[in-house]
Amino acid sequence: MLDRFNAALDLLEQAVATGGPVDVAVLAGRAGTSEHHFRRTFSALAGMPVGHYARRRRMTVAAADVLAGEASLLDVAVRHGYSSTEAFSRAFQAVHGVGAGEARRTRPRLVSQPRVSFHLTVEGSSSIHYRIVDRPAFRVVGLRARVPLVHLGRNQVMEDFVRGIAPAVSEQVGALSDQEPRGVVSVTDALDGSRAEGTELDYWHAAVTSQPAPDGLDELHVPAGEWLVLTSTGVPYPEGLQLMWRDAYAEWFPANPWRTRPGPELLRTQWHDDGTADGELWLPVEPEVD
């Protein structure tokens, strides 16, 4: 799989070099997967959305032409896919912190985005425990809030939301649970396609159930489908649980013929007194099509 992803990145580099558009759907096709899975995998492995990476690479290449001073800024802008010097300079400043004209005049310190390539590192010291579950449709019932995405570390907005839920309401939610994953679970949905740090998502403090939502609680209908269930035991909280997403894309998906599909993601957590936790992560998946 990673060889196909690297072939897609070669295609991205061709677009950057020629000033052509970067079409993520075309990149996903070269990688032999869906656009949804390509975006998710790239973001998880590279640490940034593919669109953000493409802009940084384009402006890294463009910086050499700006500093060379051999062509007008309009010619440089057109060469790199922009129709005006104003649009080009805005994009240049967003990456380098300085406009293209000023960069040519003052030669300040600029930003360089290295090429990304994906490689599988085999350590052989641990195994990923997983199962594939074929589920009928179900409901997610509970309370939800719009919160920022935090990839690693504590999410203060999310924690404040959960702390603000009355114990009686949390017990009401837990009592609705009648199927896996059991008990009160964390559910994330309606994420920005870029999955960039700070973008917003729907966070649910909820139960997976066949029952309709009682008054005062929200409800999310989840269609039937297959799910990847990953487990982690005795990991630091919250970082160890957050790394389950990274490990899924860095280790599990490259080794298995599956890909993610659109849908909510569920996390069941059991906390321990020593500050660690056990996690069970549910990701919606479908077989990879050759």
Question: pLDDT tens digit string along 188-212?
Answer: 999 887 778 889 999 999 999 999 9
Residues spanned by the domain of 96: 2-106
- What pLDDT sits at residue 243? 86
Please tell me whether residues 81 and 145 are part of one structural domain: no
- In the predicted model, residues of the chain with pLDDT beneath 50 are 122-126
Within a domain: 123: no
Q: Please check whether residue 144 is in contact with residue 217, taking contact to mean a CB–CB distance below 8 angstroms.
A: no
- What pLDDT sits at residue 23? 96
Within a domain: 117: no
- What pLDDT sits at residue 125? 39
Please tell me whether residues 192 and 225 are part of one structural domain: yes
Please tell me whether residues 62 and 184 are part of one structural domain: no
Please tell me whether residues 251 and 214 are part of one structural domain: yes
Its pTM stands at: 0.78
Query: Tell me: the pLDDT tens digits for 45-71?
Result: 888 899 999 999 999 999 999 999 889
- What pLDDT sits at residue 127? 53
Within a domain: 118: no
Domain count, the chain: 2
Please tell me whether residues 154 and 33 are part of one structural domain: no
- What pLDDT sits at residue 126? 46
Please tell me whether residues 96 and 142 are part of one structural domain: no
- What pLDDT sits at residue 280? 95
Helix ranges (DSSP H) in the chain: 2-18, 24-31, 35-46, 50-68, 73-79, 85-96, 100-106, 156-163, 167-175, 239-247, 253-255
56 burial via Cβ count (<10 Å: 0-12, 13-18, 19+): buried
Please tell me whether residues 87 and 159 are part of one structural domain: no
d(CA 157, CA 177): 25
